Chain A
Amino acid sequence: MIHNSGEAANERPNIIVLLKQVPDIEEVKFDTEKGTLDRSSAKAEPNPFDLNALEAGVQIKEKLGGTITVVSMGPPQAESALRDALARGADRAILLTDKKFGGADTLATSYTLASAIKKLGNFDLIICGEKTVDGDTGQVGPEVAEHLGIPHVAYVSEIKKCDKEGFVTVSQMGEYRYLTELKSFGLITVTKDINEPRLPSLRDKLKARKSEIEIWSVDDLTNGADRNKFGIMGSPTSVYKITIPSVEGRRGKIFRGTPDEATKKFVEELEKILKV
């Protein structure tokens, strides 16, 4: 059961962390000519900002107790990201995996995640990363909040206070820093500035290797959810082409030689550019 608005949070909060497995961007090959990308050789890892999300959850748990459930939608291999999360302090891990979830844009992804959260029921706080390093939209967090009809605060860089009254967050919007109270429960998206994720100990890693990862498919969610809203069927946007950002138009004038010479030549150019 999702808490009704106005009701105080549990003293021992139930926290849900949303975590996506992504390719190590340094190892993805981008073909400038063909405009394609090849992820096959890239190692998969948890999205870096989602480790900040998990660490934020672990720190709240250390203070107040409670539980952390990590939910991920992805291919079966994403299990390894969830094991990593268990080693880092999560209590329970759920992988939403099904061919029918494939090809999802953020609308379908957030619908799927929200359906799983509804099925889980009772929670006080959902924590997401600010964005992923691949899809890179930063939309899934606020969209999950809208599907669930709960408030959210984006770009949280600090949790100032957490107790049974709720949470107080610090977040940046443009030129300002806001101190915002999340009165009972809700969702936050966090930036890398919120913490430095701890590395799991060897012992925890070994323990996580034996822990259970719950696997949920479409059929596990359809009690209450509409299967036409999953995956590619439920996705209004599609990427139909990929290109590589061009460096055309850059002057590419490189000056070498002694600092005196190079600087002099460059300053002559600078005179010209600052005049226009």
Chain B
Amino acid sequence: MGEYKGVMTFAEQEDGKIHPVSYELLGKGRDIADKLGVKLSCVLLGFQMKNEVNELIYHGADKIFFYDHPSLKEFDTIRYKQNIVNLVKEEKPEIFLLGATHLGRSLGPRIAVAVKTGLTADCIDLKVDEEGNLIQIRPAFSGNILAHIKTKTRPQMSTVRYKVMEKRERDPTRKGEIIMKDAEVVENSGTNILKKEKAGEVNITEADIIVSGGRGLKKPDDFKILHELADLLGGVVGSSRPLVDEGWIGREHQVGFSGNTVKPKLYFACGISGSSQHLAGMRDSDIIVAINTDPSAPIFKVADYGIVGDLYEVVPKLVDVIGKNKNKVLS
């Protein structure tokens, strides 16, 4: 294992724009690399992204491996995997991190198998023990527990959940090395993207304020009440699963284990009981507000603020009071 050295992260891009999770990985990667006294490198695959490469250095990387090739412009699991596997075999990092995005969770497992190592899924914390081993902490059992995991092979690989690690402040004076790599071109990867389109109007995972409704709502139209509050606060509307399954609202709004994982600054759960599957998607929100008629609803256990009451009375009242004090509240 001695020959494996350094921390490497994967920089994810879409339309030539770096996904913010990549900067968070560099933030955490920097801490770990400093602790181990090793270098932090980063791999980027894309096409014509010269400016973005420097951003990775400004956010903490010492060295960038850049594969600049038209075949890597769009994500293709096999093409990406092949090039990263080549690099990991050459560079032998002791730690390799990817974002636990859809892309990272589709790509990471293939890399792990190809380099014959372990992969820990969807980590929410990473630490280093006295021997320099990576301690990986992740939710499992539908979010009911946290598993602490070690990996005996190298590299130690993890996918890391978006919005849990801190990125570093951008430092445009930081210097680093950019290494241009020749891409291995995979002609036929077996899949072919025919079309790509925006999945929905809202991207709930990026929202700072979410007002979610559950089965406490009586009919589809009543989402309007929640929209009013969300609009007033500059937020978006979310939902528990049953209402999505009923077709009351699009699935891009679903929060939870089989929907989106969110981490807004402010999360309102209106008429949501707080099942473990719902909590799995929102329990790390900065501030949780619960509105529920049942004082024993489990959602109150994780709430910062709870209002025991009928959402049909409380939410319009909130809209009213906040609206009147708008300048004061939303300064």
Assess the B151–A236 pair: CB atoms within 8 A: yes
Assess the B197–A176 pair: CB atoms within 8 A: yes
Give the interface segment out of A59-67, A71-79, A182-190.
Answer: A182-190
Minimal beta-carbon separation of A181 from chain B (angstroms) = 4
B48 CB within 8 Å of chain A: no
Minimal beta-carbon separation of A266 from chain B (angstroms) = 6
B92 CB within 8 Å of chain A: no
- Which listed residue (A5, A139, A142, A236) contacts B153, Cβ 8 A? A236
Assess the A174–B329 pair: CB atoms within 8 A: no
Q: What are the residues of chain A within 8 A of B196 when measuring CB–CB? A: 176-179
- The CA of A136 and the CA of B121, in the complex, are separated in Å by 8
Closest to B284 in A: A245
Give the interface segment out of A12-20, A197-205, A257-265.
Answer: A257-265
- The CA of A172 and the CA of B200, in the complex, are separated in Å by 11
Assess the B321–A263 pair: CB atoms within 8 A: yes
Mask, A77-119, CB within 8 Å of B = 1, is 0000000000000000000000000000111001000000000
Closest to B113 in A: A146
Assess the A180–B194 pair: CB atoms within 8 A: yes
Give the interface segment out of B55-63, B102-110, B172-180.
Answer: B102-110
Assess the B148–A241 pair: CB atoms within 8 A: yes
Assess the B102–A266 pair: CB atoms within 8 A: no
A243 and B305 in contact, given A175-B203, A177-B196 (Cβ under 8 angstroms): no
Q: What are the residues of chain B within 8 A of A245 when measuring CB–CB? A: 139, 143-146, 283
Assess the B199–A107 pair: CB atoms within 8 A: no
A186 and B191 in contact, given A136-B139, A263-B318 (Cβ under 8 angstroms): yes
A173 and B103 in contact, given A145-B110, A259-B314, A267-B321 (Cβ under 8 angstroms): yes
Assess the B146–A244 pair: CB atoms within 8 A: yes
Assess the A243–B309 pair: CB atoms within 8 A: no
Mask, A245-276, CB within 8 Å of B = 1, is 10100111111100110111011011101110
Q: What are the residues of chain A within 8 A of B192 when measuring CB–CB? A: 180-181, 183
Assess the B197–A235 pair: CB atoms within 8 A: no
Chain B residues 269-314 with CB under 8 Å of chain A are 276, 283, 287-289, 295, 300-310, 313-314
Q: What are the residues of chain A within 8 A of B103 when measuring CB–CB? A: 173-174
- The CA of A178 and the CA of B75, in the complex, are separated in Å by 11
Minimal beta-carbon separation of A19 from chain B (angstroms) = 17
Assess the B112–A271 pair: CB atoms within 8 A: no
A252 and B303 in contact, given A173-B75, A242-B147, A263-B318 (Cβ under 8 angstroms): yes
A6 CB within 8 Å of chain B: yes
- The CA of A51 and the CA of B113, in the complex, are separated in Å by 26
- The CA of A106 and the CA of B322, in the complex, are separated in Å by 50
Q: What are the residues of chain B within 8 A of A137 when measuring CB–CB? A: 119, 121-122, 140
Q: What are the residues of chain B within 8 A of A168 when measuring CB–CB? A: 194
B69 CB within 8 Å of chain A: no
A153 and B191 in contact, given A174-B101, A237-B150, A254-B308 (Cβ under 8 angstroms): yes
Q: What are the residues of chain A within 8 A of B303 when measuring CB–CB? A: 250, 252, 254
- The CA of A153 and the CA of B150, in the complex, are separated in Å by 28
A216 CB within 8 Å of chain B: no
Minimal beta-carbon separation of B21 from chain A (angstroms) = 10
Closest to A182 in B: B191
Most buried by A among B19, B101, B112, B330: B112
Chain B residues 71-127 with CB under 8 Å of chain A are 75, 77-78, 81, 101-103, 105-110, 112-114, 116-122
B218 CB within 8 Å of chain A: no
Assess the A237–B118 pair: CB atoms within 8 A: yes
Minimal beta-carbon separation of B121 from chain A (angstroms) = 4
- Which listed residue (A30, A154, A183, A262) contacts B102, Cβ 8 A? A154
Assess the A110–B301 pair: CB atoms within 8 A: no
- The CA of A151 and the CA of B148, in the complex, are separated in Å by 31
B195 CB within 8 Å of chain A: yes
- The CA of A180 and the CA of B106, in the complex, are separated in Å by 14
- The CA of A213 and the CA of B329, in the complex, are separated in Å by 64
Chain A residues 128-160 with CB under 8 Å of chain B are 133-143, 145-147, 150-155, 157
Assess the A147–B145 pair: CB atoms within 8 A: no
- Which listed residue (B203, B251, B308, B322) contacts A256, Cβ 8 A? B308
- The CA of A135 and the CA of B232, in the complex, are separated in Å by 40
Assess the B317–A243 pair: CB atoms within 8 A: no
Closest to B190 in A: A151
Assess the A271–B145 pair: CB atoms within 8 A: no
B224 CB within 8 Å of chain A: no
A206 CB within 8 Å of chain B: no
A143 and B191 in contact, given A262-B307, A263-B317, A267-B325 (Cβ under 8 angstroms): no
Residues in chain A within 8 A of chain B (CB atoms)? 5-6, 25, 28, 30, 35, 37, 49, 105-107, 110, 133-143, 145-147, 150-155, 157, 168, 172-184, 186, 191-193, 235-245, 247, 250-256, 259-260, 262-264, 266-267, 269-271, 273-275
Those 5 A-B pairs whose CB atoms lie nearest each other, nearest first: A151-B190, A236-B118, A237-B118, A137-B121, A142-B109
- A sample of 10 inter-chain contacts (CB < 8 A) reads A134-B142, A136-B142, A142-B105, A143-B113, A151-B190, A182-B190, A183-B190, A240-B150, A250-B304, A266-B289
- Can you name 6 extra interface pairs (CB under 8 A) apart from A152-B77, A237-B118? A37-B145, A107-B117, A146-B81, A180-B192, A181-B193, A237-B119
